[in-house]
Chains A and B, each alone.
Chain A
Amino acid sequence: MSLAVAVTGAGAVVGGAPDFAPPLAYDALGIGPDGSVPLGHLPEAIRARAMRAERITQLLLAAGGRALAAAGIDAATAPATRAGIVVGTAFGCFLTNAAYQRRLAAEGPAGASPRLFAATVANAAAGELAIAYRLAGPALTVSAGGASGLAALGEAVEILRAGRADVVVAGGADALGGALADWCTATGLAFGTPPAEAAAVLVLERPGRVRAELGRIAGHASGFEPDPEGPAGGEGLAGAIAAACADAGLAPRAIAAVVSATPPPLAPLEARALDATVGGCRPRPMRPALGATGPLGLLAALADRKRRVPVLVLEVCPSGHVAALVAWSRGAP
């Protein structure tokens, strides 16, 4: 059993169809009918920066600003060397890459935009959030397909456990639309339910030095399914669930609830993994949101519980990436 980590702030921006109304532990910001990302809550200087930024950066700044404000952390003027950032994203700057490449193809090298090119690194969004709030500790962006969000939360937990930072801003984000929607169609990528465009960010701290807690992350693990739809599909997820429970110091059978957004084609894989670990407990479904899925699932898990219970959050992606996270909801023990 390893150290549990406290969630002290959260923020999210969620777009998509009106039927997407997950029970969340906070009031998520919505995306406007015109597709605009809500930025009005950000401090003026950061909002001005966000207005000029790419879409995934806007999403992350909107959610991150909300989370930091909720945790009572202001934009610092000096570098905060004990504050880290970990962001998970499935597709990163896909849309920026497309915008940059289309101009390059149409106009030749004279059409190559320095501003766009600088934002084609997948860590651009995390970099902008780090610059905005002067987060100068360890910075990491990870991609693990639709399991990127939980992978990011897991690495953030490890940074805190190792004492490399006192606070880590962690979560996931993916921008959707245009070229990425075309690509999903072209590849026949079976996400099942169309994913929502979203960003979700949590502020994580070591327990004991914290303000009010929304809950705790007790254990985590990532895994992989080399052949997700094959007969052995589920062994990677079962391994991740078992490892996350062991990390949390819990027997898998002690899990009280499961939250996941597993796409229908992979439901048999998930069922096999759950049968082999937590038993008959079946997941409460939620709509997938690419890199933000796991962080949103965690916030859903931390909400609407009167008692303190261990909840399992899963991410399962057709790419083969899987992840599991065990959290204690807030509430009386």
Chain B
Amino acid sequence: MITGCGVVSPLGSGLQAFWEGLLAGRSAVRPIAGFPADDLEPRAVAEVRDVPRTDPDRAGAFALEAATQALADAGLDPASVDPRRLAVALGTTLGGMLLFERWLDGDAVDGLERVPYYAPAVRVGRRFGCRGPVVTPQLACASGTQAIALAADWVRAGRADVVLAGGADLLCRFVVAGFNCLRATAEEARPFDAARRGLVLGEGGAVVVVEDAEHAARRHARLRGTVLGVGAAADATHMTAPDREGRGAARAIVAALGDADVAPARVGFVSAHGTGTPYNDAMEAVALTRVFGPRNVPVNSIKGAIGHTLGAAGAFEAILCLQVLAAGVVPPTAGLATVDAACADLDLVYGAPRAHAVDTAVSTSSGFAGVNAALVLGRAR
């Protein structure tokens, strides 16, 4: 069961700001303001504007704020949970990179112990006194999805009662220059559009409370939704380029549907990875059509609105799915105006929100090293 959601996003902090921004089709993409970027090209990103860059452990700050919100949303006092049954699964691709950059540049930096990837999860685990598993899944841009999958597995296997699960990542010169040198970026994020040229990076944190059903029932918790199934598969073909046929992504979705015992025809909404790079979106169109058939299920991408938030992306998209399930409306894909012919088999939602009552949604993510992960999410009843 998912009983709480917390969001620190480029569209604003809090579930409501995030959801209203998505429904309005707003894009948070702007020129970089938070750090020197005159020599970076492209330099459009989606920054979190309501969290000052004063905390050098920016990803950890996002994670902590999102986790705090998620617990409040769940109406759950962490001190009321058996600490050995309280866990953290928090994905990131950059973690303490801001501190790392400064330290390598020879600056005196406080809090250097927050450099490693596992630092945001440790920060959250310490704050809430967790004694259960505290793990940082590292699946590149699929880390947020994999974190929620791990959390659901832990609860199902009886290894935890409450898991703070999601992802957090930050923008910095390291990552912007990196995606630029791969020629993967563009000034505008236009997922599935004929004119898409690349992705736009974003930042933020998204955390859900994954809770054992009996634990949630005992405290009469309000449910946000259910993780029905999880799946993962590797392309095992190339470090940075996705399999052109989308075989790994399709196998991850099929595995998640099998795990959930849900037929593809029962899925009413798909949150695509939808980065806006030529290859990813074409690959995804093939993969989704392979699983669901042509134009059978509404699809969107929120990366036109909040950019590609890397290790947080899958967690944001899982929360999007829960909102779609609860509200019966699919937000439009910001940045999409003319659907690319290579993506014509997808029923893309763009231009305006679409009213659409849904019981079951799928969220899919892919990342460097050919990793793919998928979640099947169900509406709270």
The answer to whether A201 has its CB under 8 Å from any CB of chain B is no
B106-134 interface bits toward A, Cβ cutoff 8 Å, 1 = contact, 0 = none: 00000011011110001001100111111
The answer to whether B182 has its CB under 8 Å from any CB of chain A is yes
The answer to whether A205 has its CB under 8 Å from any CB of chain B is no
| Cβ–Cβ < 8 Å partners of B235 in chain A | 79, 136
Q: How many whole Å from B281's CB to the nearest CB in chain A?
A: 20
The tally of residues in B whose CB lies under 8 Å from a CB in A reads 67
| Cβ–Cβ < 8 Å partners of A193 in chain B | none
Does B255 lie within 8 Å of A164, measured CB to CB?
Answer: yes
CA distance A162 to B256 in the complex (A): 12
The answer to whether B236 has its CB under 8 Å from any CB of chain A is yes
The answer to whether B50 has its CB under 8 Å from any CB of chain A is no
CA distance A78 to B303 in the complex (A): 33
Does A108 lie within 8 Å of B134, measured CB to CB?
Answer: no
Q: How many whole Å from B109's CB to the nearest CB in chain A?
A: 9
Q: How many whole Å from A173's CB to the nearest CB in chain B?
A: 12
Max chain B C-beta neighbours (<10 A), residue from A127, A151, A224, A243 = A224
The stretch of B292-300, B352-360, B367-375 in contact with A is B367-375
Q: How many whole Å from B141's CB to the nearest CB in chain A?
A: 8
The answer to whether B215 has its CB under 8 Å from any CB of chain A is no
Using A124-B368, A131-B238 as known contacts, say yes or no to A138 and B122 having CB atoms under 8 A apart: no
| Cβ–Cβ < 8 Å partners of B129 in chain A | 226
Does A144 lie within 8 Å of B136, measured CB to CB?
Answer: yes
Using A91-B116, A127-B369, A243-B159 as known contacts, say yes or no to A136 and B233 having CB atoms under 8 A apart: yes
Using A123-B367, A140-B146, A227-B126 as known contacts, say yes or no to A79 and B134 having CB atoms under 8 A apart: no
- A130, A140, A164: the one contacting B236 at CB < 8 Å is A130
CA distance A68 to B81 in the complex (A): 42
Q: How many whole Å from A235's CB to the nearest CB in chain B?
A: 6
The answer to whether A329 has its CB under 8 Å from any CB of chain B is no
The answer to whether A251 has its CB under 8 Å from any CB of chain B is no
Closest to A124 in B: B369
Closest to B255 in A: A164
| Cβ–Cβ < 8 Å partners of A112 in chain B | 177-178, 180-181
Does B137 lie within 8 Å of A142, measured CB to CB?
Answer: yes
| Cβ–Cβ < 8 Å partners of B237 in chain A | 79, 131
Does B133 lie within 8 Å of A121, measured CB to CB?
Answer: no
| Cβ–Cβ < 8 Å partners of B248 in chain A | 136
| Cβ–Cβ < 8 Å partners of A221 in chain B | 133, 159
Does B174 lie within 8 Å of A104, measured CB to CB?
Answer: yes
Closest to A122 in B: B138
| Cβ–Cβ < 8 Å partners of A138 in chain B | 231-234, 255
Max chain B C-beta neighbours (<10 A), residue from A85, A119, A123 = A123
Max chain A C-beta neighbours (<10 A), residue from B179, B180, B369 = B369
Does B233 lie within 8 Å of A81, measured CB to CB?
Answer: yes
| Cβ–Cβ < 8 Å partners of B240 in chain A | 118
CA distance A294 to B336 in the complex (A): 48
Closest to B112 in A: A187
| Cβ–Cβ < 8 Å partners of B179 in chain A | 117
Does A121 lie within 8 Å of B173, measured CB to CB?
Answer: no
Q: Which of A90-104 contact B (CB under 8 A)?
A: 90-92, 94, 97-98, 100-102, 104
The answer to whether B58 has its CB under 8 Å from any CB of chain A is no
- A89, A121, A158: the one contacting B93 at CB < 8 Å is A121
A interface, size bucket: 35 or more
The answer to whether A320 has its CB under 8 Å from any CB of chain B is yes
The answer to whether A223 has its CB under 8 Å from any CB of chain B is yes
The answer to whether B261 has its CB under 8 Å from any CB of chain A is no
Does B133 lie within 8 Å of A151, measured CB to CB?
Answer: yes
CA distance A161 to B97 in the complex (A): 36
A206-239 interface bits toward B, Cβ cutoff 8 Å, 1 = contact, 0 = none: 0000000000000001111111000000011001
Q: How many whole Å from B129's CB to the nearest CB in chain A?
A: 5
Q: How many whole Å from A172's CB to the nearest CB in chain B?
A: 12
| Cβ–Cβ < 8 Å partners of B84 in chain A | 223, 235-236, 239, 243
Q: Which of A178-197 contact B (CB under 8 A)?
A: 179, 183, 186-187, 189
| Cβ–Cβ < 8 Å partners of B367 in chain A | 121, 123
The answer to whether A145 has its CB under 8 Å from any CB of chain B is yes
Q: How many whole Å from A129's CB to the nearest CB in chain B?
A: 10
The answer to whether B201 has its CB under 8 Å from any CB of chain A is no
Does A123 lie within 8 Å of B130, measured CB to CB?
Answer: no
Q: Which of B241-259 contact A (CB under 8 A)?
A: 247-248, 251, 255
- A101, A118, A145, A235: the one contacting B182 at CB < 8 Å is A118
| Cβ–Cβ < 8 Å partners of B103 in chain A | 183, 186
Max chain B C-beta neighbours (<10 A), residue from A91, A124, A127 = A127
In the A-B complex, list the 10 residue pairs whose CB atoms are closest, starting with the nearest: A127-B369, A117-B178, A239-B84, A222-B133, A122-B138, A112-B181, A236-B131, A139-B234, A141-B138, A138-B232
A selection of 25 A-B contacts at a CB cut-off of 8 Å is A81-B251, A108-B39, A109-B181, A112-B178, A114-B182, A127-B368, A130-B236, A131-B238, A131-B370, A133-B236, A136-B234, A136-B236, A138-B234, A139-B139, A142-B138, A143-B116, A144-B135, A151-B135, A222-B133, A226-B126, A226-B130, A239-B131, A319-B118, A320-B125, A321-B122
Which residue numbers of A lie inside 8 Å of B, CB to CB? 79-81, 85, 89-92, 94, 97-98, 100-102, 104-105, 108-109, 112-114, 117-124, 126-128, 130-131, 133-145, 151, 155, 158, 161-162, 164, 179, 183, 186-187, 189, 221-227, 235-236, 239, 243, 319-321
Given A139-B369, A155-B150, 16 additional A-B pairs, CB 8 A: A79-B235, A97-B97, A97-B174, A100-B178, A112-B181, A120-B178, A130-B236, A135-B236, A136-B251, A138-B232, A138-B234, A143-B116, A143-B135, A225-B131, A226-B126, A239-B84
